[in-house]
Amino acid sequence: MKKRKERIDRGIKARSADIFALSSYREMLYLLAPGAIPVIGLLCFAPLLSAYWKEVVISTAVYALLAISWDMLMGAGLLSLGQSLFFGIGSYIAGTLNYYWGVSPFLTIPIATLVGGALCMVLLLPVLRLRGIYFAMVTLVLPLMFARLVEATRIFGGTEGLTGLTPFPNQMTAFYVIAVALLCALFGFRRIMSSDYGLVIKAINDNDRSVMNAGINIYWYKAQVLFMGASVGCFAGAFVTHLDMFAGMPGFALDYSIMPVAAAVVGGTGTFAGPMLGAFILVPLSEMLRALGALRIVFYGLFLVIFVVGIPEGIFSYIQQKYHQLERWVEVE
Amino acid sequence: MKSESPLLKVSDLTKSFGGVMAVTGISFDLKEGELLGVIGPNGSGKTTLVNLITGFVKPVSGKVLYKGANITGKPPYKIVDLGISRTFQMVKPFYQLPAFKNLIVPLYSPRVKKLAGGKYGARDAVALDLLEEVGFERDARVSYKAASALPQGYLKRLELAKSIALRPDLIILDELFSGLSLAEVAGIVPIIEKLLSQGKTIIMIEHRLKELFRIADRIMVLNYGRKIAEGPAAEVMESDAVKEAYLGSEV
């Protein structure tokens, strides 16, 4: 009996992309396995970690959310260097509601997500016409401006911030809140972008004049993308506010702007899974290098350069390509 | 000709770019179902005229009336919504998307949704039909290829399909034939004739005069942003002003 190699996805690709007419459980496994990895990893394995590493996973998930939010904006051609704007505004909304009116975290977080998203959208509406680096500059400046505004006017606790906020009942609650939110954002955004609506958004990134010429108001679509992306960022900020029991100027810090971009670049943009994977490599890596003291940043920077030079398309895109090229032996008659 | 009043009425349209007069006081009427050819040397303001009508550029003065309503200075997406669609001289496909997916964008527009009566249907199937209409071979792989991999002839047809997908009443074709071979042009002419038979009104900006004169009802000639002649093809080409614009004045 002769044998030859055949790509596993061959039979699957030959059928329609939308209709899942699967012939065997193995094909089903081939299609579903990649999606199951983050779900099982986060919900089943991560809770088994020690309290310290669970803390690391929580903070990783926060950065992963910011990175996914960044990727969503990038999908419509909006390059954001100010993810901390969303983070800070979400943080202050949740903090204020809890500090002054004693609202429960389970209400402040959803409110901060929606109201914060809308507020950030309105803030950036006037600059939606800008593209690329011009839009990026505005997003970079806004959070720095807000931090100084809080400092100068001493509103919302000034430099002291709002302290003693209500924490989550326990670590496991916080863990599951952020894990479920991350998975919802990941699969939700992936689904949106694979629909016809997502196609229009990709097209805006590709050629906005051509989309205008197709009778579509691109600013309305960009505003919607901005709302979705900003909401996810605001959620991350509101979550951390209750985790740390503190809302303050550090919410507008540059870390929250730079890290998501680094994660997206390392992981691969435009897939949501890439930026998430990037965050899950970079944040724990930074933790592990803690023992090196001052040299930590040197090694961290070195890793970043190696990733970017070695796999410029991003780790996720690389893995995805290899996965699609997986082969199996089949018999030849 | 169904109605007495013109479908499009352009009056005294003027646009300057930093002191350079791109279009100066152009006026013309367009009746429903008519094909108007616009010709003129390079830089005579033809594409600017298209941009002014479709809202990509705002005029300094002058008016554009469409179906009796003033559409001057409205944004492009609103003008498309009213039923005017155009092609770009420099094709603007979505390079990352497969050819037929390029058509999902116009098919997703509010205008198409409205005309389809809120029924969203299978856009992919409609897109493939539209590609066949403009001469993509049925079931051929070319419809599924990324636009970045398509040759110029197909990109021009894709551009045409994108404007037809919007179910317009008035189509403006900006140098659709440029960069195409004689055979390719001959393949597209019947598509345009079919659009006319469906009652569409068409403005064609063209340098390929031979093909244009065969199908155009009327020709308008521009030079240095001004209208220098208008009328049936044969008549227009005999006028002294046109000869001078194209061949230069006698020494």
* CATH number of the structural domain spanning residue A290: 1.10.3470
> Is B105 in Cβ contact with A203 (below 8 Å)?
yes
Structure tokens at A314: 């991003």
Question: Which residue pairs from A94-97 have beta carbons closer than 8 angstroms and sit at least 24 positions apart in sequence?
Answer: A94/A165, A94/A237, A94/A238, A94/A241, A94/A242, A94/A247, A95/A156, A95/A161, A95/A162, A95/A165, A95/A241, A95/A246, A95/A247, A95/A248, A96/A156, A96/A162, A96/A247
For residue B172, which residues of chain A lie inside 8 Å, CB to CB?
A: none
Contact yes or no for A251/A92 (Cβ under 8 A):
yes
More confident residue, A225 or B246: A225
Averaged confidence pLDDT in chain B: 90
Q: Is B88 at the interface with chain A, CB within 8 A?
A: yes
Cβ(A229)–Cβ(A83) below 8 Å? no
**Chain B contact set for A200 (CB, 8 A):** 104-105, 108
In this structure, is the dihedral angle defined by the CA atoms of residues A194, A198, A204 and A210, taken in order, positive or negative? positive
- Interface pTM, i.e. ipTM: 0.88
Interface contact flag, A210 B81, Cβ < 8 Å: no
List all residues of chain B from 165 to 184 with a beta carbon under 8 Å from chain A: 165-166
pLDDT at B47: 93
Binary contact (B109, A215; C-beta < 8 A):
yes
Q: Say what the pLDDT of residue B18 is.
A: 86
Shortest Cα distance, chain B CAs vs residue A22, angstroms: 21
Measured between CA atoms, how close is A8 to chain B, in angstroms? 22
Judged by CB atoms closer than 8 Å, whether chains meet at A199 and B111 is answered as no
Q: How far is it, in rounded angstroms, from Cα B55 to Cα A65?
A: 39
In angstroms, the Cα distances linking B11 to A328, B26, B62, B63, B128 are 69, 6, 6, 5, 39
Which residues of chain B are within 8 Å of residue A209 when distances are taken between CB atoms?
A: 56, 88, 92
Residue reference for tokens 């995805």: A320
pLDDT at B2: 47
The proportion of chain B whose per-residue pLDDT surpasses 70, expressed as a percent, equals 95
Domain locations in chain B as residue ranges: 8-93+152-247
Q: Which two tokens stand for residue A316?
A: 């996720």
Tens digit of each residue's pLDDT (9 = 90 or more) over B80-90: 999 999 999 99
Query: How far A222 CA sits from the closest chain B CA (Å)?
Result: 14
Would you call A213 and B92 a contact, using CB atoms and an 8 Å cutoff? Answer: yes
Beta pairing partners, B16: B21
Model-level pTM? 0.90
Nearest to A203 among B77, B80, B97 (CB): B97
Residues in chain B: 251
Exposure letters B147-177 (e unless 16+ CB within 10 A, then b) = beebeebbbbbbbbbbbbbbbbbbbbbbbbb
Cross-strand partners of B14: B61
Residue ranges in chain A whose pLDDT is less than 50:
17-18
Structural domain that includes position A65: 2-332
| A213/B81 CB distance under 8 A | no
Nearest CA-CA partner of A114 in A24, A2, A230: A230
Per-residue model confidence as pLDDT tens digits over B115-143 = 887 666 688 889 999 999 998 887 678 88
Q: 10 Å Cβ neighbour count for B200?
A: 21
Residue labelled with tokens 């993810």:
A83
Task: Choose among B222, B249, B243: nearest CA to B26.
Answer: B222
pLDDT for residue A293? 81
Q: Please name the residue that has the structure tokens 């910011």.
A: A66
User: A interface toward B at CB cutoff 8 Å?
Assistant: 196-197, 199-200, 202-203, 206-207, 209-218
Please state the domain count of chain A.
1
Q: State the best of B103, B108, B144 to mutate against chain A, taking most chain A CBs within 10 Å.
A: B108
Nearest CB among A197, A210, A216 relative to B94 is that of A210
H-run or E-run covering B16? strand B8-17
**Alpha carbon distance A254, A204 (integer Å):** 28
Beta bridge partners of B193: none
Q: Is B166 within 8 Å of A199 when comparing Cβ atoms?
A: no
**Region at A158 (left for phi over 0; alpha for psi -120 to 50; beta for the rest):** left
Q: Are A88 and A143 in contact (CB under 8 A)?
A: yes
Domain B8-93+152-247 sits in CATH 3.40.50.970: no
How distant is the Cα of B101 from the closest Cα of chain A, in angstroms?
Answer: 8
Q: Cβ distance A285 to A303 under 8 Å?
A: yes
Shortest distance, CA B41 to any CA of chain A (angstroms): 26
Query: Which ranges in chain B belong to alpha helices (H)?
Result: 46-54, 76-82, 99-102, 104-107, 110-115, 123-133, 152-164, 182-197, 209-215, 233-238, 240-247
User: pLDDT-derived band of residue B62, with 50, 70 and 90 as boundaries?
Assistant: very high
DSSP-based three-state secondary structure for B181: coil
Query: What is the pLDDT, as a whole number, of residue A7?
Result: 78
Query: What does the pLDDT read at residue A118?
Result: 97
Of A200, A209, A212, the CB nearest to B108: A200
Percent of chain B with pLDDT over 90: 70
Interface membership of B218 toward A (CB under 8 Å): no
| Pick from B56, B76, B105: CB nearest A200 | B105
List the one residue out of A205, A233, A201, A68 whose CA is nearest residue A135. A205
A209 vs B92, B112, B162: nearest CB: B92
**What is the structure's pLDDT at A23?**
59
A-chain residue closest to B54, CA distance: A213
In 3D space, the residue among A65, A83, A81, A70 whose CA is nearest the CA of residue A283 turns out to be: A65
Among B104, B87, B100, B95, CA closest to B147: B95
Partners of residue B76 in chain A, C-beta under 8 Å: 212-213
Residue B1 has a pLDDT of 44
Contact B105 A214 (CB under 8 A): yes
**Shortest CA distance from B159: residue in chain A:** A210
